[in-house]
A = this chain, B = another copy of it.
Amino acid sequence: MIPIARPFARIAERLRGVGLRPTRQRLSLGRILFAKGDRHVTAEMLHDEAQADGVRVSLATVYNTLNQFTAAGLLREVAVDTGRSYFDTNTSRHHHFYDHRGRELTDIPAEGLRVQGLPRPPEGLAIDRIDVVVRLKKA
């Protein structure tokens, strides 16, 4: 009943809920990812942060975990730059500012943003998702 004292309890439930065993590695990575609000991380960023936190986990496991969390709907992947995958802890519909210099993503809430005048998709295909990326430059 004191969630602060059991930081893994909720995460363990979420993992079991999607059929993943709550291992030490997944719990630690889950805590890093979900403890402090919305985040956009690469595998290497998460691995470095885990190391800094004293969590021993291999890079392969970081990749496995990010991909499993994404498949389970706990994360979503954002494609803004080729050669580097970003994983977003905010899985709700929203968009992004992208600062290509600083390689930094910032959320744009879906509410308030409207994309109007889209043509019909090609025959046999339907819209899965609309991603708006606002690329930034120095003012």
Additional 9 contacts, C-beta under 8 A, given A128-B136, A128-B137, A130-B134: A77-B82, A79-B133, A82-B83, A82-B84, A83-B85, A109-B119, A125-B137, A127-B134, A127-B137
Q: Which residue of B lies closest to A114 (CB)?
A: B116
Is A131 within 8 A of B135, CB to CB?
A: yes
Residues of B within 8 A of A82 (CB): 77, 79, 81-85
Q: Which of A49-98 contact B (CB under 8 A)?
A: 77, 79-85, 97
Taking CB atoms, residues of chain B closer than 8 Å to A100 are 128
How many residues of chain A have a CB within 8 Å of chain B? 40
- Identity of the chain B residue whose Cβ is nearest the Cβ of A102 in the assembled complex: B125
- Nearest B residue to A116 via CB reads B114
Number of copies: 2
List 5 A-B residue pairs with CB atoms under 8 Å apart, sorted by A's residue number: A79-B79, A79-B81, A114-B114, A121-B139, A126-B139
| From B80, B126, B138, contact of A126 by CB (8 A) | B138
Chain B residues near A128: list those with CB within 8 A.
100, 135-137
Taken together as a complex, chains A and B put the C-alpha atoms of A132 and B81 apart, in Å, by: 14
Q: Tell me the complex Cα distance, A114–B134, Å.
A: 13
A134, B118: Cβ atoms under 8 Å?
A: yes
- Tell me, in angstroms, the Cα distance from A119 to B122 when the chains sit together: 31
